Amino acid sequence: MQTIIIVGAGRFGREICCWLEQMFDPATMRIKGFLDDTLAAAPCLNEHYPYPLLGAIDAYVPSAEDAFLLAIAEPADKLRIAAGLQAKGAVFFTLIHPTAVLARTATVGQGAVICPFAMLSADSVVADFVTINSYSGIGHDAVIGTGTTLSSHVDITGGVIVEAGVFFGSSAVVLPQLRIGSGARVGAGAIVMRPVAPGSTVYAMPAKKL
């Protein structure tokens, strides 16, 4: 039996927990528990989430049946934690919610989380550990780099290249064929009309550098 360990016991972790319970047969898969570096997360795991807090992330030693799922939104933290677990031989679970729409030529990497009602169009590429939240869309031929997070209702249009570790706030829009540099942050509601430099923050309509 495969066991899923949810890394992060906060709000997103509880969302993922609910989706997993709806998606899988408990005879073939079970949620083993949560990992979190903040013990204050424990009160979130009440009778509605009857799974144990297994301890701190760095202290956990993976077993052969474990598959890890990252419930972490901040790209830098997500990539750091993923690298630490990979160094211990961890295997990562890719969650694609059944209501998501994926073109047959779309590609999704390991450890990605594709939330309800997301859409990946033709020949789009989603790299490892990407989070695509509910109602967000990836246009044809777009590439989403490792560890990037899209909040809800983000629109990445055709041919856009998003480098690693980018964060998009809710309802952000990127116009076609643009490149968003690694580690950039795109504010909620921003409309990106020109390339974004690595490590920079843009916001507003049209998006301007902070």
pLDDT per residue, tens digit, the chain (210 aa), is 689 999 998 889 999 999 998 888 877 888 999 999 876 655 566 778 888 889 899 999 999 999 999 999 999 999 999 999 999 999 999 999 999 999 999 999 999 999 999 999 999 999 999 999 999 999 999 999 999 999 999 999 999 999 999 999 999 999 999 999 999 999 999 999 999 999 999 998 766 676
pLDDT given for residue 207 in this prediction = 65
CA distances from 71 to 5, 34, 171, 181, 209 (A): 10, 10, 20, 23, 29
pLDDT given for residue 10 in this prediction = 87
The contacts of residue 12 (CB under 8 Å, 6+ apart) are 71, 72, 73
pLDDT given for residue 189 in this prediction = 95
pLDDT given for residue 29 in this prediction = 83
pLDDT given for residue 86 in this prediction = 95
The SS3 call for residue 79 is helix
Domains detected in the chain: 2-93 (3.40.50.20), 94-201 (2.160.10.10)
Residues 99-103: contacts with CB under 8 Å, at least 24 apart? 103/140
